[in-house]
């Protein structure tokens, strides 16, 4: 058993194989948000020898969902690892917003494990609504004490090309100048802090 990942190019109406994994995908909450299914529950049912609780024809896609993986990496420093103690952790909420995380205030982020801190997922009736909800969720998200990829996701979501759905594997280099530049005000605070 496993999950198979494809990329669908709407203009061409073609599917392209990406990968097959013998585990649940990290992105499974996106599928759960647009189908209403609990994929983890179904995985446990199958492992217990039960049958799936639905048929393929029962699955209906509703709306649009997007996931931002917030990691302990510094987007202003070539995504170098960031470890230390989380001094404040506050997650967003509201309609269509889901957060999967193990993080809490006081958590010590180690330097030798997967840097994933939280998956923030936003659902909307369409792409613009899902993007707006994600932008709001990222504004509400508070993780302090370490650097995270939160500002990178915010810059990505604010990018006009991304908002129009015009992106590729070269997007960061071509549309975001290769990455983020730390705002001058933040540089000054860092120098004073040191």
97 near 120, Cβ under 8 Å?
yes
Token couple for 17? 């194989």
Q: Which residue has the tokens 């404040």?
A: 88
Give SS3 for 170. coil
End-to-end Cα spacing for the chain: 52
Task: Tell me how far apart the alpha carbons of residues 165 and 129 are, in angstroms, rounded to a whole number.
Answer: 14
Indicate which residue of 23, 125, 181, 187 is catalytic.
23
38 near 98, Cβ under 8 Å?
no
User: How many CB atoms lie under 10 A from the CB of residue 3?
Assistant: 16
Beta strand 84-85 with 116-124 is unpaired
Active-site annotation holds for 136: no
72 near 146, Cβ under 8 Å?
yes
Name the residues annotated as catalytic.
23
């Amino acid at each position: 058993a496993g999950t198979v990942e494809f990329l669908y190019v709407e203009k061409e109406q073609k599917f392209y194989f990406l990968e097959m994994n013998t585990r649940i995908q990290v992105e499974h909450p996106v599928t759960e948000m647009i189908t209403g299914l609990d994929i983890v529950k179904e995985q446990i049912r199958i492992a217990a020898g039960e049958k799936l609780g639905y048929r393929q024809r029962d699955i209906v896609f509703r709306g649009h969902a997007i996931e931002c993986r917030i990691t302990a990496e510094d987007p202003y420093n070539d995504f170098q690892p960031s470890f230390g103690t989380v001094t404040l952790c506050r997650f967003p909420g509201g309609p269509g917003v889901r957060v999967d995380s193990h993080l809490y205030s006081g958590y010590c982020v180690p330097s030798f494990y997967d840097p994933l801190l939280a998956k923030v997922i936003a659902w909307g009736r369409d792409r613009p609504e899902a993007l707006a909800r994600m932008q709001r969720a990222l504004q509400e998200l508070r993780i302090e004490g370490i650097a995270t990829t939160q500002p990178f996701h915010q810059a990505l979501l604010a990018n006009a090309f991304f908002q129009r759905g015009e992106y590729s594997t070269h997007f960061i280099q071509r549309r975001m100048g290769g990455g983020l530049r730390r705002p001058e005000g933040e540089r000054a605070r860092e120098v004073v802090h040191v």
